Structure 1
Amino acid sequence: VIPLFVLVIPLAASAQSLPIESSIAQTPFGDPDLQGIWDYRTMTPLERPRDLAGKNVFTPEEAAAYERAELDERADYDARPTVHAKFWLDYGTKLTTDRRTSLVVSPTDGRVPGRTAVAQARARARAEKRGRTHSIQDRSITERCVLGFNAGPPMNPGAYNNNVMLLQIPGMVVLHNEMVHEVRFVPLDGRDHLPNGVRQLRGDSRGHWDGQTLVVETTNYTDRTNYMGSGDKMRLIERFTRVDDATLLYEYTVDDSESFEQPWTVALPMTSTDGPMFEFACHEGNYGLTNILSAARAEERQGPSNTSR
């Protein structure tokens, strides 16, 4: 790491409440150094709760009360039967440092914009496919531990595995998510996106530098990709800015006019962690689907009167 100089970073309007003076560093090959393991868990909800309409930021006292209430509610949850033991859950214990009431910063109401008629029809069609499946082949890829549900892109806090390792080599950035050990390679050499007919569940990412900020554009999603109601025409713009040694500001904008009434933007500060980032062992050996099937066969052997579903 090569220290460069001290720079006052004028953050985007989405994070203008965090004016930070930061020592910027470079990699040996001259790019801004964003490397590290970054923790993006937070209590701050994606959307502003409706009972907080018009309130962008908590006071320090309100933030402390909100955090206490959330922890009390989790304690009650822990007392109820659940598929997850308490020690597996890692929602975070603090709001973002600027005490925002939502991760969504645009629109200013802190809410994901309304869905279009096309998106609503697509959601109804997807809902019809949920529930009991006809065969083993119909079970989801998430259940098979093939694709993580908070790794993105875009990345969002979830119940656990809220870490991403960012690595840099000349002409390439690598994003390794803890969730289902997802790895995304982002070329920085100016190459074109894949042809429009080539579609991928996690899209096709290309990056470039805008000053000290890494900008990543992802397109070419499939019609099976769904983020808050998005479709295959989603264009995602992510921005990564290191604002100090301990903080990486992650912002993203969802642009999908077929699905949403307007583009929308999220700002999520990530915190540096020493690690290590452990191997993701889904279902302790990826046996989730095996256990579902073996339990069903056991119920069948017990007879119809003992079968719960």
Structure 2
Amino acid sequence: MTCLLRAAPVVAAFLLAPAAAGAQSAPARTAWGAPDLQGVWNHGTATPLERPERHAGRERLTAAEIAEVNAAQRSAEGVGARRVVWWERGLSDGRTSMIVDPPDGRMPLTPAAAAELRARPPAGAAGPEDRNLGERCISSGVPRLGGPYSQNVHIAQTPDHVLLLHEMIHEYRIVPLDGRPHLPESVRQWLGDARGWWEGDTLVVETTNIRDDQRFRGLSQGSMRLVERFTRVGADELRYEVTFEDPKLWTQPWTATLTMPPTDGPMFEYACHEGNDGMTALLEIARGEAAAVGGEFGSR
């Protein structure tokens, strides 16, 4: 809690940093001349991360298929009152996957990583520690590629730092741009250790030092290296690209992209634990199911 309180003034300073005045251009510039990425952007999409087998060999959907997907997304909003209120389903951009490299649109898993995923037991119920970090309101991880709700990110800038405030779990990353080295390898954080720089009009953010117990698609992020690229391509479009590297998990680096439109602010706090009855309900149901079949609680 002390660390969070100390960090609060830093975050506040970022959020109050003014953008450059004047008309938008491509790209807009801050008062100090850097590309202006500031604002609240939404990374929701109906495009899957990996290309489904039924679309093998196809990079894009037809116009009719896009219309069908988007119609299904919109009609689903009326099914179940809870989703009408807060579910952000996103729409298809016509691509069959967010992954653009390798060309097949699939994560190039090593045999060992594929075997690990097959061997993983279903989500446990022995106690809170057995559930994933998002359910426990600890961390939603990095990177953010779509999601069911709370898919906004607030970007703010100063000459030597960039702030990425993620709506989900209300997590933020403060990215230095001053060339400082990464933290020692022994220092591990939920969202890793980020360092940034500009390549032309593109902000590049390299992240290492992610905790071993942080996971992406079921795989430990402890030895991952992430390289994110943010490019403002117009007043209403922020292009996002992320490359994953980990020779233990993948046979080659792989890259995913998406386009983020702006959204009207403000972005409200995601207060995860206040009134959080979900975890209690999950564990009570699991205990009831185990008792009903005469099984031991927490057994698979």
Shorter-normalised TM range: 0.7 to 0.9
The alpha-carbon deviation at position 109 of structure 1 amounts to 1.3
The answer as to 2:223 corresponding to 1:233 is: yes
Distance, in Å, in 2 between the alignment partners of 1:288 and 1:38 is 28
1:67 and 1:101 mapped to 2: Cα distance? 13
Cα displacement (A) at 1:226: 1.7
Query: Offset at 1:121?
Result: 4.9
Partner of 2:139 in structure 1?
Answer: 147
Aligned to 1:87: 85
Counterparts of 1:91 and 1:30 in 2: how far apart (Å)?
36
Q: How far is the alpha carbon of 1:168 from its aligned partner? A: 0.4
Structure 1 Cα separation of the partners of residues 242 and 30 of structure 2: 24
1:213-268 per-position Cα deviation (integer Å, ceiling 9, x unaligned) = 00000011222122133541111000000000010000000111110122111111
Cα displacement (A) at 1:4 = 10
C-alpha distance in structure 2 between counterparts of 1:64 and 1:85, whole Å:
21
- Residues 23 and 138 (structure 1 numbering): CA distance in 2 closer, same or farther, change over 3 Å? closer
Write the distance in 1 (CA, Å) between the matches of 2:97 and 2:286: 41
Choose which of 208, 221, 235 in structure 2 pairs with 1:219.
Answer: 208
Question: Offset at 1:123?
Answer: 3.4
Q: How many residues align?
A: 276
1:105 aligns with 2:108: no
Question: Separation in 2 of the partners of 1:249 and 1:276?
Answer: 21
- What is the TM-score normalised by the length of structure 2? 0.81
* Aligned counterpart in structure 1 of residue 69 of structure 2, from 66, 75, 84: 66
Tell me what 1:36 maps to: 39
Is the 1:26–1:32 Cα contact (8 Å) retained in structure 2?
A: yes
**Residues 122, 193 of structure 1: alpha-carbon distance in 2 compared, 3 angstrom cutoff:** farther
C-alpha displacement of 1:141: 3.2
| AA of the residue aligned to 2:213 | R
8 Å Cα contact 2:73/2:89 also seen in 1 = no
* CA RMSD across the alignment: 3.0
Q: Which runs of 5+ in 1 are unaligned?
A: 7-21
CA distance in structure 2 between the partners assigned to 1:137 and 1:64 by the alignment: 42
Counting only pairs closer than 5 Å after superposition, residues 237-248 of structure 1 correspond to structure 2 as 237-248=227-238
Unmatched tracts of structure 2, length 5 or more: 1-18
Q: 1:47 aligns with which of 45, 50, 67?
A: 50
Q: TM-score, normalised by structure 1?
A: 0.78
Deviation above 3 Å: which 4+ runs of structure 1?
1-6, 69-72, 120-125, 135-141, 286-297, 304-309
